[in-house]
Amino acid sequence: MIKKVLYKVLPKKIIQFLQKKKYMWIAKNAFDQDRKRFMSSVYSFNSSLANLEAQIIINSHSIEKGLTNINFRPGFGKRALSDLVYNMEKYSERTEVINSEVFSNAINIITAYIEKHNNLAVDVSYLKDIVQKFKVSSDLVIDCNVVNNSKSGKIKESHLDFFKFSNSRSSVRDYSSEIVSSKELTNVFSLANNAPSACNRQPWQVHVISDKNKITEVLTLQKGLKGYGTNIQKLLLITSDNRFFSNVHERNQGFIDAGMYSMNLLYAFKYYGIGTCALNAELSKNTEKLIRDILSIKNYENLVMFISVGKYPNDFKTTKSPKKSINSYIKYH
């Protein structure tokens, strides 16, 4: 009742001012709740088995990527291996029975590392003791060696049925010197354009970086392709446009919509026989500002992710990157 009276007697500007104050208060509470929920779960400040598994995945993937590097360095990854073993030891101390796919994959990746170095007659025998130390169920043992690919083979995958097409997608981190043309980009963007979004708002923006100096500048700041990225033809930055949203309840929607578009984009590049690697936009405040300045990114845009783009080399290696079984994350209610 009082609210209705106030709406009638107060000037419109005052009402708008009070509404803005109210929405700012709601937004502050929502973001505070997000912060508390996030910080109470992340592995930097917590050490559940799931936290340890996350760190094991990161350490393992670092080793796995190194095995595909075209400029392979024997004995690489000592820091990553040390961190991996440390986290595996912490994990094994917490459970009597190791029945973790993630843990098993780590063992398998270390085994692949040993095999690679044995083939090069490089002594990494100290790692064999680690493999023997952590016994896992034989049901979880899989081959984690790198996948050998050819350009012709990858292009043939472009028109497989979707089951095979999707399962054959993998990140390609180094490319040939062949140019990715403007026409090819237009074809890719046209195909990716059918991505779903909330209320069909399509809040994504795509920044196509072609200037080699800018690509180098941005990737040096982003740090996700250190040691890789030979012959990158284009670097894409996907952003979400906050002008397409109404209130704090939609604060995550831009990331969701732009994320779905980005996946569509990765599939579209694969369909047209072009290699890609999805790269994160996990940046500090200062680093983000530098990248925004380099690319003239507007304040209303949120940085979602980068994608490196290039043509397949004649022969190249990719990671297997084993995925969790669906039973490990599907919950029925």
Residue pLDDT, tens place only, 11-28:
888 888 888 888 899 999
Q: What is the pTM of this model?
A: 0.92
In the block, which residue shows the tokens 């039973």?
Answer: 327
Residue 193 clears pLDDT 80, i.e. is over it: yes
How far, in Å, CA of 74 to CA of 79, rounded? 14
Mean pLDDT is lowest, of 10-19, 58-67, 187-196, 215-224, for 10-19
> Which token pair is 206?
């795509």
Give the pLDDT confidence of 39-74 residue by residue, as tens digits: 999 999 998 999 999 999 999 999 999 999 998 999
How far, in Å, CA of 127 to CA of 285, rounded? 39
Q: What percent of the chain has pLDDT over 70?
A: 95
Q: Give the best-scoring range by mean pLDDT among 42-51, 123-132, 165-174.
A: 165-174
- Alpha-carbon Rg of the chain, whole angstroms? 24
- Band (pLDDT 50/70/90 cuts) for residue 6 is low
Give the pLDDT confidence of 64-108 residue by residue, as tens digits: 999 999 989 999 999 999 999 999 999 888 876 667 888 888 988
How far, in Å, CA of 48 to CA of 51, rounded? 5
How far, in Å, CA of 219 to CA of 226, rounded? 8
Residue 137 clears pLDDT 80, i.e. is over it: no
Mean pLDDT is lowest, of 24-28, 143-147, 221-225, 267-271, for 143-147
Q: Which helix (H) or strand (E) holds 240?
A: strand 234-241
**Counting Cβ atoms within 10 Å, is residue 243 exposed (0-12), middle (13-18) or buried (19+)?**
exposed
